[in-house]
Amino acid sequence: MSSWTLVAQAPSTDVPAVDQLKTALESKSDAVKIETMRLILTLMYNGDPLPGVLMHVIRFVMPSRSKALKKLLYFYWEVCPKHGSDGKLKQEMILVCNAIRNDLQHPNEYIRGYTLRFLTKLKDVELLEPLVPTCRQNLEHRQAYVRKSAVLAVYSIYQQSEHLIPDAPDLINSFLVAETDATCRRNAFVVLTILDHVKAATFLVNNFSSITSMDELMQLSIIDFIRKDVLLNPQNKAQYLKLIFDLLDTPINTVAFEAASALTLISTNPAAVQAAASKIVELIVKEPDNNAKLIMLDRIDELRKTHVGLLEDFVLQCLNVLSSPDLDVRRKALTIALEMISSRTVEEFVNLLKKELTKSMERDYDKTNEYRQLLIGTVHKCAMRFPQVASNVVYLLMDFIAEMNTASAADIINFVKEVVERFPQLRQSIIERLLLTLAETKAGRVYRGALWVIGEYCDTDADVRAAWKQIRASIGEVPIIAAEQRHADQANDAQHESEAHQSVDLITPSSIRTRVLADGTYATESAVGQEDANKKQRGLAPLATNRPPLRSLILDGDFYLATVLSATLTKLVMRYASLTEDGTRVNALRAEAMLIMTSIVRAGQSAFSKQSIDEDSLDRIMSCLKSLADFQTERALADVFLEDTKQAFTDLVGAVERKRTEQDQQARQRDAVQVDDLLSIRQLCQKEQSGVSEVDHDVRQAVGDDSVVLDTASKLSKVRQLTGFSDPIYVEAYVTVNQFDIVLDILMVNQTEETLQNLSLEFATIGNMKIVERPTPVNLSAHAFASTQCVVKVSSTDTGVVFGNAVYDDPKTKDSKIVILSELRINITDYIQPAICTEAAFRSMWTEFEWENKVAVLESAAADGFTGPETSVDSPVRRCLESLMSKTNMACLTPVSGLSGDCAFLSANLYAKSIFGEHALANVSLEQQTDGSVSGHVRVRSKTQGIALSVGELVTKSSR
């Protein structure tokens, strides 16, 4: 039986009359009765009480021996109306009570157990009172299945009314002492901890020596009790610590983890914390479930934050988790280990990462490239935090440039660029190693980064000469067109010579075919002519396998690399001119550089290139040529190439470092507690105040009470009016957005002079939303009001719409009346949050994501940019960007140094992440026109279409 049939009815199903239901219940077939009971339960769960079928259920369903029918019968007893209009218990329930008592004495233990579980849901004291003696007798039943259910039934009855079983604590205590079944003992102990904490503590003390040999469920219950008892009776902490330490050695993983968690709660002693952390790391390595690994890694991270400095020696143990094949587990472990390292353990940490990187090069398994990039990123961060290991790390990574894929090698080049800038003492050796790797580099992206480093940081005469020699060897013979044509001619000559040694008669019977011409006559066709054409075409192609790497990349169409090469050659010539007074040598280098550039331009416009050179690349190369021609007379050109470009990169690195430092300071300030801070008492402090214990925090999260307290204005802004003041029904909703659902607290007011019956609110949704809890129908008297609730589940970050109507019975005609409700639009900003990612990650996602939404932006001068919060930025394009970030709830990844300056143009990257793990990327391009207006466009990319359209809609709204 599908569970949804108990709470939802198909729209096409006709609702039968009560007489039809009664007739179906009178059937002698149990199958008919089962279907009828299902239909009755469906109707009752949807708001129809069906009081007229109660007696028929008692007469024709209750005597049945069908197990399925009896199960449905107890569902019916849970929801059927048990009291009359006067509030007293119906007389028919006496028969029901007698039937329940008979089932409690049934010879079938499963019927007894199910009936006892039903008693835990029964809230009427008048019905429970005659069932108490039978329930107590089931505590002594021979079957453990019955006894464990009887324990819970006794607890439920005691909770409803203590006078029914006043000796329940003593009864459960006696049962616990005498019981031998593990599940029954566990249920009894949990119940005893709630009913009588002192008796539970006494039982624990009396059985202290045998706790380690108990079953898993009992040990978990004892650990949970210890957590609570330590807060009430701190004097018992010493004996509990010994027990918890013993439970750490249990072979059961769940018990060991709970014991480790309890140990950190009971004691803050360094030895206890380290023992708990060591056990959790051991469990992470042993546990096969990746979700469990992530949970335990989160626990290690919490211990690291709570006990600063105590877990420094566990860095290598934490890295044992890298044996897991799951990339998320590895990423989490590396992130935690990176926060735990210190100057004392950084050497061992780096050595272990070296071994992992070497393994990733030797083995090929799932997501090897991603794991390799993760290791490189971790090494990068480690080197930036601890400069003493930078030299050791950068040399290792540079050895792998030629062997890694493009993405990993590009990460290494970016790391090298930052190391060269931040550690001047390493520049000489890094340049030497980088020059050696040029001949083995195959990726254009890696080549561009290497050439940029060479052009910026070759500061000596010897470095410039070595760099020039290596670059010249990577380009090959120039001019390129003449060399390529000569190679093609040599290849054709060699081919003709080889053909001369072959047989003169190339026509064989196998190369002749008979064809039928258009006029019906026959003709023969030879394959010699076609073979000659193919040979000629192959002969014209140069031998690309013999080309130098840099030359091969340029002729393959990578003219962006050609522009970087031209800029590098320009910088090397200008720097060499500043280092030497040998004008002849400088002119020779300048002439050679200009020859290389012109040769690249001509090659890009010839047939030897796979694609023609683009206009931007051509302009860049031509500007380098002009700069080489004029730099000796115009000193400003040399300053731009040699000083300004390096200063721009220095500012970029400094901005990244400042942002990293600010984040660290904010994290320390958030966790810091001053000596004069007030003590927080949970019962007296407000919800937004911190200082509650870990257990209280977990309880608050479990009951959803961890929300931020809002002021009156914020609360009123969440009230949405759904009907007008002149409508018969006034409806308004208070919208609460939680993490994965939306709660509508609805107020309904009857504005008529008559009672409105069967007033119900019917809602539907558009988008990836689903109504999971619908409002129940109510009857409203004149000018009365009622509150109800509707819960909407959200499954993705799309702009959704909730719409519906209010339906009630007309007091005079009894016809249904409908009042249309205003629609509720769910704002996407409630589900996306500003986030930060690296430039490499942004580019990778931008290339990967296929959904793009391009939104035009046009603001007049009168509008003065977007309507948004006031900023201290004077530039109109900057004000537009700030307001756009505020409206879309996205963070700007472009450094402040890249946005500063008095310029009418602006380009920036924005990034946000939804609570569902979805990524939203945006590229903003703005321009200030001569009349003061701002125009441009925003390109939004995401993995799904919904979030791209939703963010684009926010941009459109914010620019109105």
Rounded mean pLDDT, 728-756:
87
Amino acid at site 203: F
Query: Within 13 Å and on the Cβ side, how many CA atoms surround 697?
Result: 8
Q: Per residue in 275-298, pLDDT tens? A: 888 898 888 888 888 888 888 998
Average pLDDT, the chain: 80
Count CB neighbours of 890 within 10 A: 27
Residue 941: predicted pLDDT = 92
3-state DSSP assignment of residue 33? helix
Q: Per residue in 481-516, pLDDT tens? A: 888 788 777 777 666 666 655 544 444 444 456 665
Count CB neighbours of 171 within 10 A: 19
Closest CA to 467 of 617, 362, 568: 568
Residue 533: predicted pLDDT = 44
Please give the Cα distance from 485 to 489 (Å, whole number).
6
E strands, 829-884, in order: 832-834, 851-859
Tally of helices (H runs) and strands (E runs) in the chain: 40, 18
Rounded mean pLDDT, 201-225:
87
Please give the Cα distance from 832 to 948 (Å, whole number).
12
Residue 709: predicted pLDDT = 46
pTM over 0.75: no
Please give the Cα distance from 430 to 376 (Å, whole number).
17
Please give the Cα distance from 819 to 802 (Å, whole number).
15
Rounded mean pLDDT, 621-635:
88
Rounded mean pLDDT, 330-348:
86
Residue 684: predicted pLDDT = 60
Q: Which residues contact 2 (CB under 8 A, 6 or more apart)?
A: none
Please give the Cα distance from 57 to 70 (Å, whole number).
11
- Locate 782 and state its tokens: 């004149």
Count CB neighbours of 42 within 10 A: 19
Rounded mean pLDDT, 432-451:
83
- Locate 762 and state its tokens: 């019917």
Residue 652: predicted pLDDT = 79
Please give the Cα distance from 560 to 444 (Å, whole number).
9
Q: Which residues contact 737 (CB under 8 A, 6 or more apart)?
A: 826, 830, 831
Closest CA to 805 of 874, 873, 736, 729: 729
Q: Per residue in 424-437, pLDDT tens? A: 888 888 888 888 88
Does residue 448 register a pLDDT over 70?
yes
Residue 730: predicted pLDDT = 93
Q: At what angle do helices 406-422 and 839-848 cross, to 10 degrees?
A: 160
3-state DSSP assignment of residue 904? coil
- For residue 789, count CB atoms less than 10 angstroms from its CB and return exposed for 0-12, middle for 13-18, buried for 19 or more: middle
Does residue 403 register a pLDDT over 80?
no
Distances (CA, A) of 95 to 25, 101, 459: 18, 10, 101
Distance of CA 568 to the CA centre of its chain: 41
Count CB neighbours of 578 within 10 A: 11
Percent of the chain that is helix, strand, coil (3-state, to 5): 60, 15, 30
Please give the Cα distance from 337 to 330 (Å, whole number).
10
DSSP designation for 61: I
List 677's β-bridge partners, or say none: none
Please give the Cα distance from 604 to 608 (Å, whole number).
8
List 852's β-bridge partners, or say none: 941
Please give the Cα distance from 416 to 397 (Å, whole number).
9
Residue 748: predicted pLDDT = 92
Closest CA to 769 of 787, 748, 745, 744: 744
Does residue 632 register a pLDDT over 50?
yes
Closest CA to 556 of 545, 570, 568, 540: 545
Q: Per residue in 800-837, pLDDT tens? A: 788 899 998 887 777 888 999 998 887 666 778 888 88
Helical segments of 46-181, H only: 54-56, 67-79, 92-104, 109-119, 125-128, 132-137, 144-160, 168-178
**Residue 517: band (very low, low, confident or very high) from pLDDT cuts 50, 70, 90:** low
Please give the Cα distance from 737 to 829 (Å, whole number).
11
Q: Per residue in 561-591, pLDDT tens? A: 899 999 999 999 998 888 888 888 889 988 9
Please give the Cα distance from 307 to 315 (Å, whole number).
14
Residue 939: predicted pLDDT = 92
Q: Per residue in 850-868, pLDDT tens? A: 889 998 887 765 444 444 4
DSSP string of 918-940, one letter each residue: -EEEEEEEEEE-TTS-EEEEEEE
**Residue 797: band (very low, low, confident or very high) from pLDDT cuts 50, 70, 90:** low
Contact status, residue 686 vs residue 709, Cβ threshold 8 Å: yes
Amino acid at site 164: L
**Residue 48: band (very low, low, confident or very high) from pLDDT cuts 50, 70, 90:** confident
Owner of token pair 């035009």: 856
Does residue 107 register a pLDDT over 60?
yes
- Cα-based angle 104, 105, 110 (whole degrees, multiple of 5): 65
List 791's β-bridge partners, or say none: 743, 773
- Cα dihedral 309→311→315→316 (10° resolution): 140
Residue 911: predicted pLDDT = 92
Residue 872: predicted pLDDT = 42
Count CB neighbours of 382 within 10 A: 20
3-state DSSP assignment of residue 853? strand
Contact status, residue 407 vs residue 369, Cβ threshold 8 Å: yes
- Locate 172 and state its tokens: 């459960």
Please give the Cα distance from 155 to 172 (Å, whole number).
9
3-state DSSP assignment of residue 742? strand
Does residue 2 register a pLDDT over 90?
no
Q: Per residue in 249-271, pLDDT tens? A: 888 888 999 999 888 888 888 88
Please give the Cα distance from 230 to 236 (Å, whole number).
7
Does residue 707 register a pLDDT over 70?
no
- Locate 406 and state its tokens: 């493009």
- Locate 473 and state its tokens: 């060897």
**Residue 703: band (very low, low, confident or very high) from pLDDT cuts 50, 70, 90:** very low
3-state DSSP assignment of residue 778? strand
Please give the Cα distance from 873 to 886 (Å, whole number).
14
Q: Per residue in 449-472, pLDDT tens? A: 888 888 888 888 888 888 888 888
Contact status, residue 37 vs residue 76, Cβ threshold 8 Å: yes
Please give the Cα distance from 882 to 870 (Å, whole number).
9
Least confident of 11-20, 303-312, 532-541, 777-786: 532-541
E strands, 394-535, in order: 512-516, 522-526
| Rg value, the chain, Cα | 39
Residue 420: predicted pLDDT = 85
How do 851-859 and 919-928 pair as beta strands? unpaired
Please give the Cα distance from 949 to 851 (Å, whole number).
9
The greatest distance separating any two alpha carbons of the chain, rounded to the nearest whole angstrom, comes to 119
Q: Per residue in 116-157, pLDDT tens? A: 988 888 888 888 888 888 998 988 888 988 999 999 999 999
Distance of CA 701 to the CA centre of its chain: 20
Residue 918: predicted pLDDT = 82
- Locate 768 and state its tokens: 């990836």
Q: Which residues contact 767 (CB under 8 A, 6 or more apart)?
A: 798, 799, 800, 801, 826, 946
Using H for helix, E for strand and C for coil, what is the string for 158-192?
Answer: HHHCCCCCCCHHHHHHHHHHHCCCHHHHHHHHHHH
Residue 910: predicted pLDDT = 92
Task: Give the percent of the chain with pLDDT over 90.
Answer: 7
Q: Per residue in 762-772, pLDDT tens? A: 888 887 788 88
Helical segments of 363-405, H only: 368-385, 390-399
Please give the Cα distance from 769 to 765 (Å, whole number).
6
Q: Which of the two residues, 672 and 643, has the higher pLDDT score? A: 643
- Locate 835 and state its tokens: 């986030």
First to last CA, the chain: 54
